[in-house]
């Protein structure tokens, strides 16, 4: 198992912010990434649709015989994790639970906030995960739907439109004196500086991608799955649409050039038969 890759999927580009942390924390691991760019965004779709798309993208990744799959998509982690863990023959780690654990630890009982897409916030997945760890923990949810298009347009943290949007969405959180804010969308780390500047240095910002990468490392250590190869791991990216844009914009998420991107035709991931699931 140590020689097989870690597979990662997202509805589009955002999951590359998780891959960035995986490459830093687990530099010897081979990574295979699938971005479902033809069907992005997942954040405005229904739970059954998200579950279907997540199972199809993960099904495509099974062809690489991964030792583990990371659902690097907050919407899929919020709405489809039970389906993924029930149907897939390999362990699946999402971004919600690791982010919730870090938030509870840092909040120490003070109010914490979760910001994300409408679907992620509406699912209450973070609230449930947090309350499972700390039943009395105050949680303030806030949907910030314009953050994703701002990031994908290439607007940075110094852009006046970004600053105004951050202020508009996060003013209620600052008024409630939250101690921790969870970035509940993989696009949001690219706006971290603007978010942190507005909320102030006393507010802890939790990047669920980093926490997820630490959870992946812990899981592989516990199950003897860490790569024993002494060379740097490889990375291959696959997309369901527009590989040129993915390569260009995705490098901003990854903070390095993307060297391998392949377009995947629908027949390779839509309704792909999956291997029988096993108890995990």
Phi, psi of 147 (to 5 degrees): -60, -40
Q: Among 115, 274, 269, 109, which Cα is nearest to 205's?
A: 115
Could you tell me how far CA 268 lies from the centroid of its own chain? Answer: 23
Please list, residue by residue across 63-82, b when 16 or more beta carbons sit within 10 angstroms of its beta carbon and e when fewer do: ebebbbbbbbbbbbbbbbbe
| 157 a catalytic residue | no
Tell me the C-alpha distance between 183 and 198, whole Å. Answer: 14
CB atoms within 10 A of CB 7: 27
| Burial of 267 from C-beta contacts in 10 A (0-12 / 13-18 / 19+) | exposed
| 144 a catalytic residue | no
The active-site residue, picked from 73, 144, 157, 237, is 73
Q: Among 249, 138, 252, which Cα is nearest to 189's?
A: 252
The active-site residue, picked from 144, 157, 185, 237, is 185
| Alpha-carbon dihedral sign for residues 15, 113, 128, 148 | negative
SS3 at position 95: coil
Catalytic residues: 73, 185
């Amino acid at each position: 198992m140590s020689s097989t890759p870690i597979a990662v999927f997202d509805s589009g580009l955002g999951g590359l912010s998780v891959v960035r942390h995986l490459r830093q924390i687990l530099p010897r691991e081979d990574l295979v990434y699938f971005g479902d760019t033809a069907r992005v965004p997942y954040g405005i779709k229904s739970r059954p649709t998200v579950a279907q798309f997540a199972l199809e993208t993960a099904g495509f990744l099974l062809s690489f015989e991964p030792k583990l799959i990371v659902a690097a998509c907050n919407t899929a982690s919020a709405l489809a994790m039970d389906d993924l863990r029930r149907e897939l023959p390999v362990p699946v780690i999402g971004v919600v639970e690791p982010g919730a654990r870090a938030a509870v630890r840092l909040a120490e009982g003070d109010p914490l906030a979760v910001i994300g897409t409408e679907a992620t916030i509406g699912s209450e997945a973070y609230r449930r995960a947090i309350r499972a760890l700390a039943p009395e923990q105050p949680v303030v949810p806030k949907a910030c739907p314009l953050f994703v298009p701002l990031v994908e347009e290439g607007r940075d943290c110094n852009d006046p439109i970004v600053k105004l949007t951050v202020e508009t969405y996060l003013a209620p959180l600052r008024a409630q004196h939250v101690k921790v804010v969870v970035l509940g969308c993989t696009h949001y780390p690219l706006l971290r500086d603007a978010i942190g500047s507005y909320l102030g240095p006393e507010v802890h910002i939790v990047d669920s991608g980093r926490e997820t990468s630490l959870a992946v490392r812990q899981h592989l250590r516990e199950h003897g799955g860490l790569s024993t190869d002494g060379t740097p791991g490889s990375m291959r990216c696959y997309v369901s649409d527009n590989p040129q844009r993915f390569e260009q914009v995705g490098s901003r998420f990854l903070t390095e050039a993307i060297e391998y991107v392949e377009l995947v035709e629908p027949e390779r991931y839509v309704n792909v038969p999956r291997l029988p699931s096993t108890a995990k």
